[in-house]
Homo-oligomer: A and B are copies of this chain.
């Protein structure tokens, strides 16, 4: 048994300054951190940015490659307009548009962008899931 949870997501980045500038452009504030890393507080968890070579070394590997979409980090929103607004803000911050928000086959509304290192973010409204006031998400029991 291991606990069913994630407390920290670390994104390996090619240029920490570039990555921090991008997330700053999204309006995100890192906590005070050593110069080689940046941590962002989230609901009961955190996101970290760390040099790709340092991250590979930390993992005991010779090298690591940047992502090609095998992981996506998603943000859920209470309605489509909020998705559109956040997507526009991300593009304005320099994100690469992979797929503009649109209706998708599972009944929701979703778009994808890539950050400067190719890390893929999905912005979505899922009418079957609950996004609370504090931004946390609950998957309801099936009806």
Contact = CB atoms under 8 A, between A and B. Distances in A.
Contact of A67 (B70, B117, B123, B131): B70
A8 B74 CA distance: 5
Interface in A51-107: 52, 55-56, 58-61, 63-76, 86, 89-90, 93, 98-99, 104
A140 to B, nearest CB: 9
Interface residues of A, number: 73
Nearest to A27: B1
A75 to B, nearest CB: 6
Number of copies: 2
Contact of A27 (B2, B11, B58, B138): B2
B70 A12 contact: yes
A52 B32 CA distance: 36
Contacts of A56: 69
Interface of A: 1-12, 26-29, 31-32, 39-47, 52, 55-56, 58-61, 63-76, 86, 89-90, 93, 98-99, 104, 110, 112, 117, 119-120, 122-124, 131-132, 134-139, 141-142
